[in-house]
Chain A
Amino acid sequence: MNFDLTEERQMLQDSLRRFLRDKYDTATRNKILESDSGLSTEIWQGLAELGVIGALFTEDQGGFGGAGFDLTTVFEELGRAGVVEPFLDTAVLAGGLIADLGTEAQQAHVEEIIAGTLQMAFAHGEPTSRYDLNRVQTSAKADGDNIVLNGRKAVVVNAEAADMLVVSARESGDAGDAEGISLFLVPADAKGLTIQGYALLAGGRAAEVTLDDVSILASARLGAAGKAASAIEARVAIANVALCAETLGAMETATALTKEYLMTRKQFGRPIGTFQALAHRMSDLLIELEQARSAVINAAGHLEGDDRQRDLHVAAAKNLLGRAGRMVAEDAIQMHGGIAMTQEYELAHIAKRIVMADHRFGDTDHHLERFIALSAA
Chain B
Amino acid sequence: MDLSYSDEEKAFREEVRAFLDEKLPKEMAETIRKGEELGKEGQERWHAILNAQGWLAPNWPKQFGGAEWNAVQRHIFEEEAAAHYAPRTVPFGLSMLAPVLQKFGSKSQQDYWLPRILSGEDWWCQGYSEPGAGSDLASLKTMAVREGDHYIVNGQKTWTTLGQHANMIFCLVRTDKDVKQQEGISFLLIDMDTPGIEVRPIVLLDGGAEVNEVWFTDVKVPVENLVGEENKGWTYAKYLLTHERTNIAGVGFSRAGLTAVKRIARAEMSGGRPLIENPHFAARVAKAEIDLMAMSTTNLRIISKAAAGAAPGVESSMIKVKGTIIRQEINDLARRAAGVYAMPFASEAVEGSNEALPDPHSAGPVAAQYFNNRKLSIFGGSNEIQRGIIAKVTMGGGK
Pick the residue among A155, A268, A352, A363 that contacts B371 (CB under 8 A).
A352
Is A206 in contact with B205, judged by CB distance below 8 angstroms?
no
Is B205 in contact with A352, judged by CB distance below 8 angstroms?
yes
Is A351 in contact with B371, judged by CB distance below 8 angstroms?
yes
User: Interface digits, B369-399 against A, CB 8 Å rule (1 contact, 0 not)?
Assistant: 0111011011100111001100000000000
User: Interface digits, A299-342 against B, CB 8 Å rule (1 contact, 0 not)?
Assistant: 00000000000000000000000000010001001100110111
Does B336 interact with chain A (Cβ within 8 Å)?
A: yes
Does B81 interact with chain A (Cβ within 8 Å)?
A: no
Contacting residues, chain A, for B275 (C-beta < 8 A)? 130
Is B269 in contact with A338, judged by CB distance below 8 angstroms?
no
Is B339 in contact with A206, judged by CB distance below 8 angstroms?
no
User: Interface digits, A165-205 against B, CB 8 Å rule (1 contact, 0 not)?
Assistant: 00000000001100000000000000000001011111000
Is A360 in contact with B368, judged by CB distance below 8 angstroms?
no
In the bound assembly, the distance between CA atoms of A342 and B271 in angstroms comes to: 38
Contacting residues, chain A, for B377 (C-beta < 8 A)? 334
Is B269 in contact with A128, judged by CB distance below 8 angstroms?
yes
The winner among B278, B284, B342 for most chain A CB atoms within 10 A is B342
A318-377 interface (Cβ within 8 A of B):
326, 330, 333-334, 337-338, 340-344, 348-349, 351-352, 355-356, 358-360, 363, 365, 368-369
Secondary structure type dominating chain A contacts: mixed
In the bound assembly, the distance between CA atoms of A226 and B202 in angstroms comes to: 52
Is B339 in contact with A334, judged by CB distance below 8 angstroms?
no
In the bound assembly, the distance between CA atoms of A74 and B207 in angstroms comes to: 29
Pick the residue among B139, B205, B269 that contacts A130 (CB under 8 A).
B269
Q: Which residue of B lies closest to A176 (CB)?
A: B272
In the bound assembly, the distance between CA atoms of A340 and B134 in angstroms comes to: 13
Pick the residue among A198, A349, A351 that contacts B356 (CB under 8 A).
A198
The winner among B132, B269, B275, B344 for most chain A CB atoms within 10 A is B344
Q: Which residue of A lies closest to B365 (CB)?
A: A201
CB distance from B177 to the nearest CB of A (A): 15
In the bound assembly, the distance between CA atoms of A102 and B204 in angstroms comes to: 45
Is B340 in contact with A330, judged by CB distance below 8 angstroms?
no
The count of A-to-B residue pairs whose CB atoms sit within 8 angstroms is 143
Contacting residues, chain B, for A344 (C-beta < 8 A)? 203
With A334-B378, A338-B134 known to touch, is A198 a contact of B341 (CB < 8 Å)? no
Is B371 in contact with A200, judged by CB distance below 8 angstroms?
no
Q: Which residue of A lies closest to B379 (CB)?
A: A338
Contacting residues, chain A, for B205 (C-beta < 8 A)? 340-343, 348-349, 351-352
With A130-B270, A175-B272, A198-B344 known to touch, is A208 a contact of B384 (CB < 8 Å)? no
Secondary structure type dominating chain B contacts: mixed
Does A44 interact with chain B (Cβ within 8 Å)?
A: no
Does B345 interact with chain A (Cβ within 8 Å)?
A: yes
Question: Range of interface residues on chain B?
Answer: 35 or more
CB distance from B160 to the nearest CB of A (A): 11
Is B139 in contact with A365, judged by CB distance below 8 angstroms?
no
CB distance from A82 to the nearest CB of B (A): 13
Pick the residue among B284, B357, B374 that contacts A341 (CB under 8 A).
B374
Pick the residue among A154, A348, A355 that contacts B370 (CB under 8 A).
A355
Q: Which residue of A lies closest to B366 (CB)?
A: A201
Is A368 in contact with B270, judged by CB distance below 8 angstroms?
no
In the bound assembly, the distance between CA atoms of A9 and B285 in angstroms comes to: 44
User: Interface digits, A99-140 against B, CB 8 Å rule (1 contact, 0 not)?
Assistant: 000000000000000000000000001011111100100000
Is A359 in contact with B343, judged by CB distance below 8 angstroms?
yes
Pick the residue among B268, B278, B343 that contacts A202 (CB under 8 A).
B343
Contacting residues, chain B, for A199 (C-beta < 8 A)? 344-345
With A200-B345, A368-B280 known to touch, is A125 a contact of B340 (CB < 8 Å)? yes
Contacting residues, chain A, for B132 (C-beta < 8 A)? 266
Does B5 interact with chain A (Cβ within 8 Å)?
A: no
Contacting residues, chain A, for B336 (C-beta < 8 A)? 358, 363, 365
Is A268 in contact with B204, judged by CB distance below 8 angstroms?
no
Contacting residues, chain A, for B207 (C-beta < 8 A)? 343
Does A267 interact with chain B (Cβ within 8 Å)?
A: yes
User: Interface digits, A144-168 against B, CB 8 Å rule (1 contact, 0 not)?
Assistant: 0000000000110000000000000
Does A278 interact with chain B (Cβ within 8 Å)?
A: yes
With A334-B378, A341-B375, A342-B204 known to touch, is A131 a contact of B339 (CB < 8 Å)? yes
Does A277 interact with chain B (Cβ within 8 Å)?
A: yes
Is A330 in contact with B374, judged by CB distance below 8 angstroms?
yes
Count A-side interface residues using an 8 Å CB cutoff: 51
B74-102 interface (Cβ within 8 A of A):
none
Contacting residues, chain B, for A198 (C-beta < 8 A)? 344-345, 356-358
The winner among A125, A277, A365 for most chain B CB atoms within 10 A is A365
Does B136 interact with chain A (Cβ within 8 Å)?
A: yes
In the bound assembly, the distance between CA atoms of A26 and B204 in angstroms comes to: 14
Contacting residues, chain A, for B345 (C-beta < 8 A)? 198-201
CB distance from A275 to the nearest CB of B (A): 8
Is B374 in contact with A201, judged by CB distance below 8 angstroms?
no
CB distance from B133 to the nearest CB of A (A): 8
In the bound assembly, the distance between CA atoms of A175 and B341 in angstroms comes to: 20
Is B387 in contact with A267, judged by CB distance below 8 angstroms?
no
Does B309 interact with chain A (Cβ within 8 Å)?
A: no
User: Interface digits, A14-51 against B, CB 8 Å rule (1 contact, 0 not)?
Assistant: 00000000000000000000000000000000000000
In the bound assembly, the distance between CA atoms of A92 and B336 in angstroms comes to: 25
B162-213 interface (Cβ within 8 A of A):
202-207, 211
Contacting residues, chain A, for B204 (C-beta < 8 A)? 341-343, 348
Pick the residue among B135, B139, B342, B372 that contacts A337 (CB under 8 A).
B135
Does B292 interact with chain A (Cβ within 8 Å)?
A: no
In the bound assembly, the distance between CA atoms of A326 and B374 in angstroms comes to: 12
The winner among B202, B345, B357, B384 for most chain A CB atoms within 10 A is B345
Is B340 in contact with A155, judged by CB distance below 8 angstroms?
yes
Pick the residue among A208, A343, A358 that contacts B203 (CB under 8 A).
A343
Is B343 in contact with A363, judged by CB distance below 8 angstroms?
no
Spell out B's residues near A (CB within 8 Å). Answer: 129, 132, 134-136, 139, 158-159, 202-207, 211, 268-272, 275, 278, 280-281, 284, 328, 332, 335-336, 338-346, 356-358, 360, 367-368, 370-372, 374-375, 377-379, 382-384, 387-388
Spell out A's residues near B (CB within 8 Å). Answer: 125, 127-132, 135, 154-155, 175-176, 196, 198-202, 206, 208, 266-268, 272, 275, 277-278, 326, 330, 333-334, 337-338, 340-344, 348-349, 351-352, 355-356, 358-360, 363, 365, 368-369
**Which 3 A-B pairs rank lowest in CB-CB distance, beginning with the nearest?**
A267-B136, A348-B205, A199-B345
Task: Show 24 residue pairs from A and B whose CB-CB distance is below 8 angstroms, ordered by the A residue.
Answer: A128-B269, A128-B360, A130-B340, A131-B340, A132-B271, A196-B358, A199-B345, A201-B368, A202-B343, A208-B358, A267-B134, A267-B135, A326-B332, A334-B378, A337-B378, A337-B382, A338-B134, A338-B375, A338-B379, A340-B374, A342-B204, A343-B203, A343-B207, A359-B367
Instruction: Please give 9 more A-B residue pairs, beta carbons under 8 A apart, in addition to A200-B343, A201-B206, A337-B382.
Output: A127-B360, A129-B269, A201-B368, A206-B344, A266-B132, A268-B136, A272-B135, A351-B371, A363-B339
